[in-house]
Amino acid sequence: MTDEALPISQRPASNAPGHWVLARVGKRVLRPGGLELTLQMLSNARLTGARVVEFAPGLGRTATEILAARPASYTGIEKDPVAAKQVAELVAARGTVVNADAAETGLDEGSADVVVGEAMLTMQGEKAKRAIISEAVRLLTPGGRYAIHELALQPDDIDEELHTRIRQDLARAIHVNARPLTCEQWAELLEECGLVVETIQTAPMALLDFSRNVRDEGFVQTLRIIRNVLSDRELRARVLGMRKTFRTYQDSMCGVTIVAHKPLEGDTDDVQ
């Protein structure tokens, strides 16, 4: 895949969003908890035979895993037109992609059994977070599951000053106004939007560690990523800057997945 085929390919590496910078050097797994945590989440979401909607599929890496689980249908909702076209080609034989915002998909109410979203809510402010989750709830049939994979801060009682400093330094490093929450806050947000949390799992936030990349991308592709980083001064400066920030706060960050379901109609046992 060439740089020209990637979203925001015309933006210089010095100010492009961090996840697309990493895509330029060859990273395809762009989730804070890695591929293993994604696979655990998808298993918990019970995709086989389900109507699945994925918010912001990006390069389509998770879409391939969703299709491997043999869902009844797959629909991707991707705001970026370049990414939407790319994922549409990837899933053409077994799914569709809609070029739309996750907060306003245009899909019918109750048209999904599972909604999946990864590494997207973190990048939104509180109002936008709630709008996206509310749209997932609208799409879900009663009993349907919403599965998210996001960046979390830890512990749950993290010092507020440290929380703010991490958010500010992350924003400077990845050029996106990231607003991660603690695991407890993520769960509370889903519950406030009308969902019932089923599972919470975490993994170290090791997006740019060598061993994680070997597990996520494979040894040969990891070597290609290293070569690409070393051969371009501008890309190298951005990637090393992100890596420094991630390592500075590695003990205070993790990847978290949560699977929550929409209560069955009239099921008061689900309502706390």
- In which residue are the tokens 């990845």 written? 174
- Kindly report, residue by residue over 103-146, the tens digit of the pLDDT: 999 999 999 999 999 999 999 999 999 999 999 999 999 999 99
Q: Where do the structural domains in the chain lie, given as residue ranges?
A: 3-260
Domain 3-260, classified CATH 3.40.50.150, yes or no: yes
Residue 100: strand, helix, or coil: coil
- Kindly report, residue by residue over 234-264, the tens digit of the pLDDT: 989 999 999 999 999 999 999 999 999 999 9
Specify the pTM: 0.90
| pLDDT band with cut points at 50, 70 and 90 for residue 48 | very high
| Per-residue model confidence (pLDDT) at position 1 | 46
| Residue 265 buriedness (CB in 10 A; 0-12 / 13-18 / 19+) | exposed
Phi, psi of 189 (to 5 degrees): -65, -45
Q: Who contacts 175 (Cβ-Cβ below 8 Å, separation ≥6)?
A: 15, 16, 17, 18
**H or E element in which residue 168 lies:** helix 160-174
Q: How far apart are CA 190 and CA 148, in angstroms?
A: 10
Q: Who contacts 2 (Cβ-Cβ below 8 Å, separation ≥6)?
A: none
